[in-house]
Amino acid sequence: MKRGRRRSWSHAALLCVMVFCVAGQLDARERLDKGLEQRLRDHIEVLASDEFSGREPGTDGEALTLRYLGMQWFDIGLVSGTNDPGNEWFVPVTLVAREPAASVAQFRIGRRLVPWTEDEALMLTSGKRSLVRDAPLLFVGKADGQGLSRNELAGRIAVMLDGGKSDSDRQNALLAEGASAVLTILDGQRTLTQVAVRRQRSGYALADDTLGGDLEGFITKDAMARLLVTAGTSLKALTQEATHADFAPRVLNFTASFEATTRETTIRTHNLIARLPGKRPDSGAVLLVAHWDHFGVCAEEPAEDRICNGAVDNASGLAVLTEIARRLAQVARLDRDVYFLATTAEELGLLGAHAFADNPPLPLGKIVAAFNIDSAAIAPAGTPLAIVGRGMTGLDATIAKVADREKRVIVAGDEANEFVRRQDGWALLQHDIPAVLVTSGYGDLDRMRKFIESDYHRPGDDLNRPIELGGAAQDVAFHIALVRWFADTTRFSPAGE
């Protein structure tokens, strides 16, 4: 009995130990996941705090955001990835917005000034100031610049019919063929006010991309008709002429002087680029991206909550990116370099991602795969993955292989591609970088749509909403597997090599 009892006790003890061990293991794994979720939450609580005031480019919120991320990444062991000793870690990006200021138009027949009311025409430029003086007008009807010679257009103002549709392609083509300016007759439904409103909203662009010197004018149909009568012809006759197959552009017997100026707003902001050095950097690099910017103060008084904190969009993506970096820095050195890019001005039109590709720290062809991370804190653990950008790169098959090994499910179909243009990966794709967004966030589109319809881009995307991090934590794990695979030269070589 004693022995028996002892034996049964020891059996019980063994069983206990086993149960305890299994329970202990589960606990440890859960603790690890919970630990990761807590780390993600810690980052989000800093980046989406009111102190960071919505991470708007060019504000104190930018300085705080970049300092926080830079210090985290430095502590993790990353090095600067800018490849520019003059700008370690942070690459300056200049954004320019221009809104129309002055608009002047004068018409002359010979030396006589035609009486004229200014509000019947609008002169616009995408540069600072643009001026054309006493240039002859050339009526081109519906021409798009093709078939017109430089000789015909050079030094002249091309006058075109627009038939009611906004057609900047035709305007640009005429300017490219040498016209000094283009004057569009609003002979359809469009009004000058609509043209002006559209231009007011044109928003920011990269400083390098803004064109100077072009001059686009718009004139009402009535005003043009009156002008033409003064010059001894009629708009009706010209419009009729333009429909003929043998129509040839016609010089009108008056000249015009146009001037357009803009008010300029400049934002000086930054991309943050870090690198985890690989053993064989010549073999290329893997790029991980998350945008750091958001909208700053986005609601008017008297709203109580005026800050768009961007907890989900995209403090959560920055948190995921940072925890991927931490874990990758702890594993054995990879073959390829891994670049970590926190972009600016995503919300203003993916401008930081374009700036990166315009002025990259490595030849773009060296980037074997790019993974964007945006709005990660949406879905709970166990949500399948979606690929935004599916079918647009050569990466899908390899991603599927990694998912298999990691026992992760990728949702079928390409429904998530609906969102492909709304994320930095799209800008990278325009520059032929194979870029996708692989995430649980878009794995449950109903949940994502619910977010988009509610707190997305509003003050409600803040720390007061319940922030689900189960899926985000699994996204961290999956990206580590992805990067380890794509950075391994024995496992992955890009197409064509």
Cβ atoms within 10 Å of 115's Cβ, excluding its own: 8
Nearer to Zn ion, 214 or 313 (CB): 313
CB of 326 to Zn ion, least distance (A): 25
Interstrand relation of 337-343 and 285-291 (parallel, antiparallel or unpaired):
parallel
Instruction: Pick left, alpha or beta for residue 413 (phi over 0 → left; psi -120 to 50 → alpha; otherwise beta).
Output: left
Nearer to Zn ion, 345 or 402 (CB): 345
Asked whether position 313 contacts Zn ion by CB under 5 A, the answer is yes
Nearer to Zn ion, 356 or 492 (CB): 356
CB of 391 to Zn ion, least distance (A): 24
Residue with nearest beta carbon to Zn ion: 313
Stretch that binds Zn ion, among 32-40, 68-76, 311-319, 377-385 (CB under 5 A): 311-319
CB of 293 to Zn ion, least distance (A): 9
Stretch that binds Zn ion, among 172-180, 312-320, 396-404, 474-482 (CB under 5 A): 312-320
CB of 350 to Zn ion, least distance (A): 10
CB of 438 to Zn ion, least distance (A): 18
CB of 313 to Zn ion, least distance (A): 4
Interstrand relation of 90-109 and 112-113 (parallel, antiparallel or unpaired):
antiparallel
CB 103 within 8 A of CB 259: yes
CB of 295 to Zn ion, least distance (A): 8
Nearer to Zn ion, 37 or 346 (CB): 346
345-384 footprint of Zn ion as x/- string (CB under 5 A) = --x-------------------------------------
CB of 422 to Zn ion, least distance (A): 8
Q: Encoding tokens for residue 165?
A: 């549709």
CB of 190 to Zn ion, least distance (A): 31
Of residues 331-350, those binding Zn ion (CB under 5 A) = 347
Nearer to Zn ion, 214 or 374 (CB): 374
Nearer to Zn ion, 455 or 468 (CB): 455
Of residues 78-107, those binding Zn ion (CB under 5 A) = none
CB of 311 to Zn ion, least distance (A): 12
Nearer to Zn ion, 126 or 316 (CB): 316
Nearer to Zn ion, 461 or 475 (CB): 461
CB of 290 to Zn ion, least distance (A): 12
Q: How many residues form the binding site for Zn ion (CB under 5 A)?
A: 2
Nearer to Zn ion, 126 or 309 (CB): 309
Of residues 10-29, those binding Zn ion (CB under 5 A) = none
CB of 61 to Zn ion, least distance (A): 15
3-state secondary structure the chain: CHHHHHHHHHHHHHHHHHHHHHHHHHHHHHHHHHHHHHHHHHHHHHHCCHHHCCCCCCCHHHHHHHHHHHHHHHHHCCEECCCCCCCCCEEEEEEEEEEEEEEEEEEEECCEECCCCHHHEEEECCCCEEEEEEEEEEEEECCCCCCCCHHHHECCEEEEECCCCCCHHHHHHHHHCCECEEEEEECCCCCHHHHHHHHHCCCEEEHHHCCCCCCEEEEEHHHHHHHHHHCCCCHHHHHHHHCCCCCCCEEEEEEEEEEEEEEEEEEEEEEEEEEECCCCHHHCEEEEEEECCCCEECCCCCCCCCEECCHHHHHHHHHHHHHHHHHHHHCCCCCCEEEEEEECCCCCCCHHHHHHHHCCCCCHHHEEEEEECCCCCCCCCCCCEEEECCCCCCCHHHHHHHHHHCCCCECCCCHHHHHHHHCHHHHHHHCCCCEEEEECCCCCHHHHHHHHHCCCCCCCCCCCCCCCCHHHHHHHHHHHHHHHHHCCCCCCCCCCC
Of residues 124-163, those binding Zn ion (CB under 5 A) = none
254-293 footprint of Zn ion as x/- string (CB under 5 A) = ----------------------------------------
CA distance 128 to 114: 27
Asked whether position 462 contacts Zn ion by CB under 5 A, the answer is no
Nearer to Zn ion, 162 or 347 (CB): 347
Stretch that binds Zn ion, among 58-66, 238-246, 277-285, 310-318 (CB under 5 A): 310-318
Nearer to Zn ion, 81 or 296 (CB): 296
CA 472-56-345 angle, 5° bins? 75
416-455 footprint of Zn ion as x/- string (CB under 5 A) = ----------------------------------------
Stretch that binds Zn ion, among 46-54, 246-254, 308-316, 363-371 (CB under 5 A): 308-316
State how far the alpha carbon of 183 is from the alpha carbons of 165, 174, 177, 394, in Å. Answer: 14, 10, 15, 45
Nearer to Zn ion, 335 or 346 (CB): 346
- Residues interacting with Zn ion, by CB under 5 A? 313, 347
